[in-house]
Structure 1
Amino acid sequence: MTSHLTPHGTADDAHLLLVEDDEVIRSTVRMLLERYGFTVSTAADGLSGLEMFREKNPDLLLLDVMLPHLDGIGLCRRIRELSLAPILMMSARGDSLDVISGLEAGADDYVVKPCESSVLVARIRSLLRRVSFTPAPADTPDTAVLTFGELTIDTRGMDVHRAGQPLALTPTELRMLLEFAASPGVVLERRTLLNRVWDHAWHGDSRVVDLHVQRLRVKIGAERIETVRGFGYKFRR
């Protein structure tokens, strides 16, 4: 599995892959993103998008939910089998099922079409910053490696192991884990996690947090993250 913890370039010269079947939307979004300095490749259906992904190895993907041949949810799952590259889903309806299905398939975030250009670009930049995230240097080598039972987190090498086995975490999952590990035993509200991990200064959807917590639990152990009903989540020591 390819990790994108080191991007090809800076946030505004990253290579994006847009998979959208509507020709007008595809052309409009591509021109918009190119005006912001991004390099944009496009595909009109899910199978072509998968082939383009393998060929171009983009820094970030924007996937429409409703695609011919292979829908956006299926495409997201296929890509997650190959790569940890950030994925932003685009839904025309904002339907709860679309949102949940996309996040469960491995997407990092989603937007509802039509979406303001400033919001779309902000979400893309947030995801790219997450990929290139570098934590503050630890004071000593000892504090660079955090240990919680069978879970070890190397905050310098950005490596996570469970019972000695390396874990493949997406950039979003890694950022979330680092936030939890920095405050073990402290309840973190969903709004706090949205602000710190997703950079959502506006009113984000807390389902994004909940679904990522579920995915993270599968990888690091369900008992490691406790739900504090009515408040948020707490990382167990």
Structure 2
Amino acid sequence: MSAHILIAEDDIRQATVIRRYLEHDGHTTVVVHDGRAAIEEARRRRPDLLVLDVMMPGTDGLQVCRVLRRESDLPVLMLTARTTEEDLLLGLELGADDYMTKPYSARELMARIRTLLRRARPAEVPEQPAHDRVLRVGALVVDPARHVVALGGRRVELTAGEFKVLAFMAAAPERVFTRRQLLTHTRGTDTYVTERTVDVHILNLRKKLEPDPARPVHLVTVFGVGYKLTDGSAGSDPSEAPGDEPKEYR
């Protein structure tokens, strides 16, 4: 799977290493060293994926992600030296599809990139297996093979992480999933990711799917357990209780 990949990294040595690995894997690359150049190049060439360093001079990676996410669904893999939970969750909230903390393994970086490219190109799959069937929950339609979500006939744009959580829940509507179950399905055994990552995805999904995100009727919190996806016909679930999620992620 050959792709055109934009690398935004102010550390010239690291950028060179990433470029060499990507080109060895058959991809074409462009390297920029600041956030403004990353935005301009992404607009000009429309790459298949952006490898984005957070700590860049001037316009940093978080600002780049914020700007580009308003304009497109370009897959974004963030690289960050920041290891606090809040920093990592902020990147996801802004729309990053995945992130890695420095120092990182080049082999793992390539594996993450391959995964993101596969998610971004579902139409290349020659046949649709049973687990990729179109999922319907009330007015919500989730098409895993085409990576399309619609609510009431209106298309909804999701990041790869948001889509994976929603599709997993849509396959079993009304079933209650714990944060750990959703996290494991979305991120595997990534040791840098915490269960609060799920709260961020649910928060963002509610903003995009709920008539009133503060009183969700589709993505409902089940107090002390986790979340479930409903068709919205019953209104806000009485089992939803304040305090179940961290205040800033409700």
Scaled to the shorter chain, the TM-score interval is 0.7 to 0.9
SS of the equivalent of 2:117 reads helix
> By how many angstroms is 1:74 displaced?
0.6
State the partner residue of 2:35.
Answer: 46
Q: Which moved more, 1:34-43 or 1:159-168?
A: 159-168
Using CA pairs under 8 Å that are at least 6 residues apart, name the structure with larger relative contact order, 1 or 2.
1
Q: Does 1:151 align with 2:140?
A: yes
Within 5 Å, give how 1:67-146 maps onto structure 2: 67-133=56-122, 136=129, 144=134, 146=136
Q: Which has the larger radius of gyration?
A: 2
**TM-score (normalised: structure 2):** 0.78
Within 5 Å, give how 1:1-237 maps onto structure 2: 10=1, 13-133=2-122, 136=129, 144=134, 146-148=136-138, 150-154=139-143, 158-198=147-187, 200-203=188-191, 205=193, 206-221=195-210, 222-237=216-231
User: CA RMSD, aligned part only?
Assistant: 2.5
> By how many angstroms is 1:213 displaced?
1.6
C-alpha distance in structure 2 between counterparts of 1:144 and 1:100, whole Å: 30
C-alpha distance in structure 2 between counterparts of 1:161 and 1:15, whole Å: 28
Residues paired across the two proteins, number: 221
**TM-score (normalised: structure 1):** 0.82
Q: Which moved more, 1:48-57 or 1:188-197?
A: 188-197
For 1:136, the aligned partner's letter is: P
User: Does structure 2 conserve the Cα–Cα contact (< 8 Å) formed by 1:109 and 1:208?
Assistant: no
State the partner residue of 2:242.
Answer: none
Structure 2 vs 1, CA of residues 30 and 47 (structure 1 numbering), >3 Å: closer, same or farther?
Answer: same
Structure 2 vs 1, CA of residues 138 and 93 (structure 1 numbering), >3 Å: closer, same or farther?
Answer: closer
> By how many angstroms is 1:78 displaced?
0.7
Q: What do the CA deviations read for 1:20-61 (whole angstroms, capped 9, x no partner)?
A: 111111112211222233322111000000111112211111
Q: What do the CA deviations read for 1:94-122 (whole angstroms, capped 9, x no partner)?
A: 12332122111111111101101122112
Q: Which runs of 5+ in 2 are unaligned?
A: 211-215, 232-250
SS of the equivalent of 1:223 reads coil
> By how many angstroms is 1:231 displaced?
4.0
Q: Which moved more, 1:48-57 or 1:87-96?
A: 87-96
Q: What do the CA deviations read for 1:51-81 (whole angstroms, capped 9, x no partner)?
A: 1111221111111111122111110011101
User: Does structure 1 conserve the Cα–Cα contact (< 8 Å) formed by 2:137 and 2:230?
Assistant: no
Structure 2 vs 1, CA of residues 155 and 99 (structure 1 numbering), >3 Å: closer, same or farther?
Answer: closer
Structure 2 vs 1, CA of residues 100 and 163 (structure 1 numbering), >3 Å: closer, same or farther?
Answer: same
User: Does structure 2 conserve the Cα–Cα contact (< 8 Å) formed by 1:146 and 1:155?
Assistant: no
